[in-house]
């Protein structure tokens, strides 16, 4: 399998912030790859290095074997990027926007492909509307269209569903899945972990500019196999604070390795006379894995750190 | 290449960027073409009314209004060439859509060609507009003795200002920085270049100072095309203006090559 995207010891510092701290990463052709991490972890910087928008201080980045600096023409032709920011050029209509973007890649007379993109993105009726008149969700879809207009084999989507309503998100993912099935390599960053869980085959987690986890989704889930107990109580018994994954109002989420761990927790609650107002158990999902990795597998971070990780 | 990559040719992208640059100002032509033509017309009406009988040019060989017209045409070309590339780039940077130009495989020289040719086109369209309107006042100016000289200076002048606009647009982070560049550098250099007067009417010191202003050579050489008369020989002006264009072009290419302020 060829490497669609490679990063070798890529580092980049912005002032005092080490945005990327020696990232090694290989995404193979045809993968649906997830790039996860809290804000400021370096996801967008890494994508920008691949796209040639940010120049790394050191290390190498390649798209389908083409160096992003020395062979930038081939690298950029191979890559389609959906940026995170909702940007648009207010001078043009949707169709003009797509035609112009195709033209930048030296492509002319590709209206049939543009019509196909518009249809897939449910924008056919808006083809001649000015970009300014579109809703946020529509602008987002035009950005997806712009990234696809030169038929790049590798497509990077940086938080593509932020601010897109549920129905649209489903149709967008159906389209991206189809592209992946057709052989396009997809690299996705998202805040919606259930999205990554549903779509991605392999996942890398970034924290402070480093890759802290890189594995298939199944391995990540099984590595942290276990349960989460959702408890509505006034307080958590002493000795269990470190197991709190997060808090949501009166509910505490506590990580358990197996069902047998529930008994000592209930015993501790009884001993301290804490009333259980509600209790629910759930299998580990990617969000739990993410939280455990982000606070370090040692599990001694307090819940405030976890909240910081989750903050949008 | 991969089977998905549509057949794209090297160097085939920049004509689209040029087309986009043209479409951008054409879509708002009332503001980008009609407005500067009107401004120049107002200058002509007011200055010629006030100064026609008081200012003697080239020893009385040329009437003041006739003298003023090529200056106004050139000034509007210069200002609008600068405005086009600089405002296009700063707008793209501020709104974030510069990314659409930075993601495709456009080389530095392609970016340079598209932005500068786009700027030149706007400058020349506005210049032609001003010329057409002012011909109503002075139809005899249409019979230029040296139209190719005038054309050379028009092309080089608008190229220089388009290049300056490119550099200024890349340099500026905010609109007010760009406005400062325009108000404190471009406008003084244009006004002090002999648009409104022949520098021979200036005191010695100001004459010398005018000779280090490249804009003076652009306007003086351009005017030679209309009257066959100039303050300095047109070939000298052409050499100086061409050198300026070359130097600025190299600077702009270096800036684009490094990705200065565009690629971080």
Q: What is the pLDDT of residues B222-242, one digit of tens each?
A: 999 999 988 899 999 999 999
Other CB atoms within 10 Å distance of the CB of residue B61 = 12
Long-range contacts of B171-176 (CB under 8 A, 24+ apart): B171/B261, B172/B86, B172/B90, B172/B93, B173/B93, B173/B261, B174/B90, B174/B94, B175/B90, B175/B94
Q: In what order do the strands lie in the sheet with A154-158?
A: A79-82, A154-158, A185-189, A32-36, A202-207, A210-216
CB contact under 8 A, A52 and B11: no
B2:A103 CB<8 A: no
What average pLDDT does the segment B6-21 reach?
Answer: 80
Decide: helix, strand or coil at residue B254. helix
CB of B203 less than 8 A from some CB of A? no
Number of C-beta neighbours around residue B32 at 10 A: 19
Residues near A179 by beta carbon (within 8 Å), at least 6 away in sequence: A148, A155, A186
Residue B138 domain-assigned (yes or no) = yes
pLDDT at residue number A160: 83
pLDDT at B163: 97
Measured between alpha carbons, how far is A82 from A59 in angstroms, rounded to an integer? 24
Structure confidence at residue A129 (pLDDT): 95
* Confidence (pTM): 0.85
Give residue B157's region: left, alpha or beta (phi > 0; psi -120 to 50). alpha
Rounded to whole angstroms, the Cα distance separating B247 from B73 reads: 24
pLDDT of B195 strictly over 50: yes
The pairing of strands A244-248 and A251-256 is antiparallel
Sheet of A251-256, strands arranged across = A244-248, A251-256, A227-232, A278-283
Q: Residue B72: what pLDDT?
A: 93
pLDDT, residue A299, reads: 34
Q: What is the pLDDT of residue A225?
A: 65
Q: Per the domain annotation, does B101 fall within a domain?
A: yes
Q: How far apart are CA B176 and CA B180, in angstroms?
A: 6
| Mean pLDDT rounded to a whole number for chain B | 90
Tell me, yes or no, whether B203 lies in a domain: yes
Contact A106 B13 (CB under 8 A): yes
**What is the rounded distance in angstroms from the CA atom of residue B223 to the CA atom of residue B257?**
36
With CB atoms and an 8 Å threshold, state whether B104 touches A104.
yes
Looking at the predicted structure, is the pLDDT value of residue B244 above 50?
Answer: yes
What is the Cα–Cα distance from B41 to B69, expressed in whole angstroms?
Answer: 9
Q: What is the rounded CA–CA span in Å between residue B20 and residue A100?
A: 7
Domains of chain A: 3-221 (3.40.50.300), 224-310 (no CATH)
CB distance A276 to A232 below 8 Å: yes
Q: B13 with B105: CB under 8 angstroms?
A: yes
Assigned domain for B95 exists? yes
pLDDT at B7: 53
Residues in chain B within 8 Å Cβ distance of A96: 23
Interface mutation vs chain B, best among A103, A146, A147, A184, most B CBs within 10 Å: A103
Chain A residue with the nearest C-alpha to that of B93: A87
- Residue B166 sits in which domain range? 35-46+60-258
**B102: chain A residues, CB-CB within 8 Å:** 51-53
B176 C-beta neighbours (distance < 10 Å), count = 10
Q: Could you tell me which of A192, A97, A134, A163 has the C-alpha nearest to residue B97? A: A97
Chain B residue numbers touching A150 (CB-CB < 8 A): 5-6, 8, 104
Between CA A281 and CA A262 the distance in angstroms is: 10
For A179, nearest residue in chain B (alpha carbons):
B4
What is the mean predicted confidence (pLDDT) over A280-297?
74
pLDDT band at A296; cut points 50, 70, 90: low
B148 and A CB contact within 8 Å = no
**Could A72 and B105 be called an inter-chain contact, meaning their C-beta atoms sit closer than 8 Å?**
yes
Total structural domains within chain B: 1
Three-state secondary structure call for residue A56: coil
Instruction: Determine the Cα–Cα distance for residues A88 and B95; give it in Å rounded to an integer.
Output: 8
Residue B209 lies in a domain: yes
Mutate to test the interface with A, among B7, B10, B97, B118 (most CBs of A within 10 A): B97
CB A33 within 8 A of CB A27: yes
pLDDT at A47: 95
Nearest to A100 by CA among B145, B92, B233, B203: B92
C-alpha to C-alpha distance for A214 and A206, rounded to whole angstroms: 9
**B27 CB near a chain A CB, below 8 Å?**
yes
Per-residue confidence (pLDDT) for residue A303, from 0 to 100: 34
- Say yes or no for a CB contact (<8 Å) between B23 and A91: yes
- Give dist(CA B21, CA B23) in Å, integer: 6
């Amino acid at each position: 399998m060829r490497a669609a995207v490679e990063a070798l010891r890529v580092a980049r510092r912005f002032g005092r912030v080490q945005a990327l701290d020696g990232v090694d990463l290989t995404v193979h052709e045809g993968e649906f790859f997830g790039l996860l991490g809290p804000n400021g972890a370096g996801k967008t910087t890494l994508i920008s290095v691949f796209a040639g928008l940010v120049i790394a201080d050191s290390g190498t980045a390649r798209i389908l074997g083409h160096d992003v600096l020395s062979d930038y023409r081939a690298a950029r032709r191979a890559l389609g990027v959906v940026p995170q920011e909702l940007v648009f050029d207010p001078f043009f209509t949707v169709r003009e926007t797509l035609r112009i973007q195709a033209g930048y890649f030296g492509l002319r007379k590709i209206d049939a492909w543009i019509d196909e993109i518009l249809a897939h993105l449910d924008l056919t009726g808006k083809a001649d509307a000015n970009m300014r008149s579109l809703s946020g969700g529509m602008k987002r879809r035009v950005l997806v269209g712009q990234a696809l207009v030169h038929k790049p084999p590798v497509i990077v989507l940086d938080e593509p569903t932020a601010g897109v309503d549920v129905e649209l998100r489903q149709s967008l993912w159906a389209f991206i899945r189809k592209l992946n099935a057709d052989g396009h390599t997809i690299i996705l960053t998202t805040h919606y972990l259930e999205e990554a869980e549903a779509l991605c085959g392999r996942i890398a987690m970034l924290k402070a500019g480093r890759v802290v986890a890189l594995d298939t989704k199944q391995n990540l889930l099984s590595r942290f196999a276990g349960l989460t107990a959702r408890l509505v109580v006034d307080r958590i018994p002493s000795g269990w604070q470190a197991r709190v994954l997060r808090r949501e109002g009166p509910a505490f989420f506590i990580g358990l390795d197996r069902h047998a761990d529930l008994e000592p927790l209930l015993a501790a609650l009884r001993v301290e006379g804490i009333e259980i107002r509600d209790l629910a158990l759930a299998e580990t999902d990617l969000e739990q894995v993410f939280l455990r990795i982000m606070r370090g597998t040692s599990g001694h971070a307090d819940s405030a750190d976890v909240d910081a990780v989750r903050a949008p | 290449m991969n089977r998905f990559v549509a057949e794209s040719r090297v160097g085939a992208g920049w004509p689209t960027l040029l087309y986009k640059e043209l479409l951008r100002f054409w879509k708002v032509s009332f503001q980008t073409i009609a407005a500067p033509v009107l401004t120049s017309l107002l200058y002509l009406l007011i200055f010629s009314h006030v100064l026609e009988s008081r200012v003697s040019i080239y020893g009385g060989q040329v009437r003041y209004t006739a003298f003023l017209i090529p200056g106004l045409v050139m000034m509007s070309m210069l200002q609008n060439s600068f405005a086009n590339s600089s405002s296009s780039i700063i707008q793209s940077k501020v709104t974030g859509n510069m990314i659409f130009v930075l993601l495709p495989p456009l080389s530095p020289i392609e970016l340079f060609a598209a932005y500068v040719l786009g700027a030149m086109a706007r400058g020349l369209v506005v210049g032609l507009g001003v010329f057409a309107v002012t011909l109503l006042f002075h139809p005899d100016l249409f019979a230029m003795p040296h139209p190719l000289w005038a054309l050379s200076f028009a092309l080089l002048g608008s190229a220089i200002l388009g290049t300056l606009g490119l550099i200024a647009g890349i340099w500026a982070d905010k609109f007010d920085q760009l406005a400062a560049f325009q108000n404190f550098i471009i406008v003084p250099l244009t006004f002090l270049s002999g648009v409104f007067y022949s520098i021979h009417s200036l005191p010695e010191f100001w004459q010398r100072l005018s000779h280090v202003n490249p804009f003076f050579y652009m306007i003086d050489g351009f005017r030679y095309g209309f009257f066959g008369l100039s303050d300095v020989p047109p070939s000298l002006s052409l050499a100086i203006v061409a050198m300026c264009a070359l130097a600025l072009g190299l600077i702009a290419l270096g800036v684009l090559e490094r990705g200065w302020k565009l690629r971080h």
